[in-house]
Structure 1
Amino acid sequence: MALFAAATPIAAQTTYPDIPEPMIFDMMRPLGARKGEAEVNALAMTTSPFRPRSAEWAPEIEYAFADGKAIEFELPFDGARLEALKLGLQAAFGASANGSSAHGVQYLGIYDRETGLYSNSLLYMAGHRFSGRWSMMNMVGLDDIALARRAGRNALLLNHATFYDATPGTTVGIEVNVAGGRERLVRVTPQLHQRVANKVAVQAGAGVEKHRHHRARPALGVRLVREL
């Protein structure tokens, strides 16, 4: 029996750091999610706060089908119009530094309903908790992956978020999103994460974004989260 106990998979014993999820480019459950964890949430973003019909929003459901592995289904809307169908997969590779660091990979597949085209992205994720209050999450990868070299394909994706746990249930942070391709988007969003009930949280952010062919403009967002 002792020999059998020693053969328990290491992954089941791994301790992952508790790192908040970025508000805009969120994860499909935390890297250390356990099998059976589930969540529904919805993000709404706008650059025109006085024109609510111009808001982009996306309800989604996330489910950990195995320890450290999760799947996500998302429906991105532009106003009342369903723009795309989105599928995401995520896998954790493990933790290190006595459970302070963790890394993994995230895949996103998007079907554009207007053009009928399918695109995908792949990102490597690396997070670290510096102390009981400070932590960060980094994601870097490629968008619209393709073997052919064409304008806008294989564009850089970079997402960085730094968080400070101010009080139990309250986290403040700043998120930086960079996307290459034709649009070349850069967005910086200070944000507040507030747990309002046992399994309910609200994330809100206000920042600025800059596209290649547009002037900088405000970017406002809110995400409602309900763990199941």
Structure 2
Amino acid sequence: MAQLTDAEKDSLYIHQIEDQKEPDKVLHAEPLYIDLIRDLGARKGEKEWNLGLGLTDNLRFDSYEGLIEYEWAPADRLGLEVELPFTFYSPVNGTANDSVPSNRLNSIKIAAQWSFFVNEPMATSMAFGYINEFELSDFRAFGKPFLRGNIYNPFLVVAKRWGNNFHSLIYTGPLVEQDFRTNRFHTTYDVNTSFHYMIPGTRNFIGVEFNKSISRGNFDMTMRPQMRLGIADNLLIGIVAGIPVSRENERLSSFVRLIWEPGHPKR
């Protein structure tokens, strides 16, 4: 039997994802740092576990972030997610411990995403979503109170694949933070764009995210070059570097995401 070329493998894999099942679904490269709640055009029964670990070099301390995340599709085109993000801090350059933030389980995040537009001929998908983040007190004052605030985050996702290998995506929406202690609100607007190239004949990709936020007239942006590697048919690892473009207190960062997809079909 003649060996398949990489282009033929790409076409077969896209055909497997898009044409073998109902409803329609378009293959898109998902960003690794600001990830989606579930694949765009999710099909009932899909599920995924994520484990993330990261390090950020700040001026006065280092922060170590982690997350445990489970996402699933209870119905076609509907994705749900539960996430527990946490952060630990370490002082640098002789910084006093009492001036460093306290370690914390940041929040309990629950989210939903509905793909309202999926068009295979256009290779385009769109989705609305909502994340509700119950912010918890840090470990120094844990339980006093237990909940210190809430973040309301509606968002819109638009993604397009160009040919078989090039992918673009925009993820945008406001984050409205409510402080329960003062009952004050603070709004930040995020615009996250990403571009990826999927390596021919594989599920691996290289790309970059541009994470941009506007808050009280200030603009911050971090570039996150990244790559995803398939370890097994249902196990992937994502590696991300963070390069701040216009942040005053943050320097370089790194992030690793381990992705396990139970029941993912073999290629």
**TM, length-normalised to structure 2:** 0.72
CA change 1:199–1:58 in 2 (3 A) is same
Aligned mates of 1:195, 1:213 — CA distance in 2? 36
Q: CA offset at residue 154 of structure 1?
A: 3.1
Say which one has the larger Rg: 2
2:167 pairs with 1:158: no
Determine if contact 1:16/1:99 at 8 Å carries over to the other structure. no
Determine if contact 1:152/1:180 at 8 Å carries over to the other structure. no
Which residue of structure 2 aligns with residue 7 of structure 1? none
Gaps of 5+ in 2: 1-20, 89-102, 138-146, 263-267
Letter in 2 for 1:92: S
Which residue of structure 2 aligns with residue 170 of structure 1? 204
Task: State which of 236, 241, 253 in structure 2 corresponds to 1:201.
Answer: 236
Aligned mates of 2:38, 2:113 — CA distance in 1? 8
Aligned mates of 2:177, 2:64 — CA distance in 1? 27
Q: CA RMSD in A?
A: 2.5
Gaps of 5+ in 1: 1-11
Determine if contact 1:194/1:203 at 8 Å carries over to the other structure. yes
CA change 1:191–1:133 in 2 (3 A) is same
2:167 pairs with 1:135: yes
Aligned mates of 2:163, 2:185 — CA distance in 1? 39
Determine if contact 2:23/2:76 at 8 Å carries over to the other structure. no
Determine if contact 2:150/2:177 at 8 Å carries over to the other structure. no
Show structure 1 runs of 4+ deviating over 3 A: 182-185, 210-213
Aligned mates of 1:212, 1:69 — CA distance in 2? 35
Aligned mates of 1:185, 1:113 — CA distance in 2? 25
Deviations 1:52-101 (A, max 9, x none): 97311111000101111011000010126312111111000122361511
Letter in 1 for 2:209: E
1:210-225 → structure 2 map (5 Å cutoff): 210=245, 212-214=247-249, 217-225=251-259
**TM, length-normalised to structure 1:** 0.84
Determine if contact 1:14/1:95 at 8 Å carries over to the other structure. no
Letter in 2 for 1:176: F
Number of residue equivalences: 211
Letter in 1 for 2:121: N
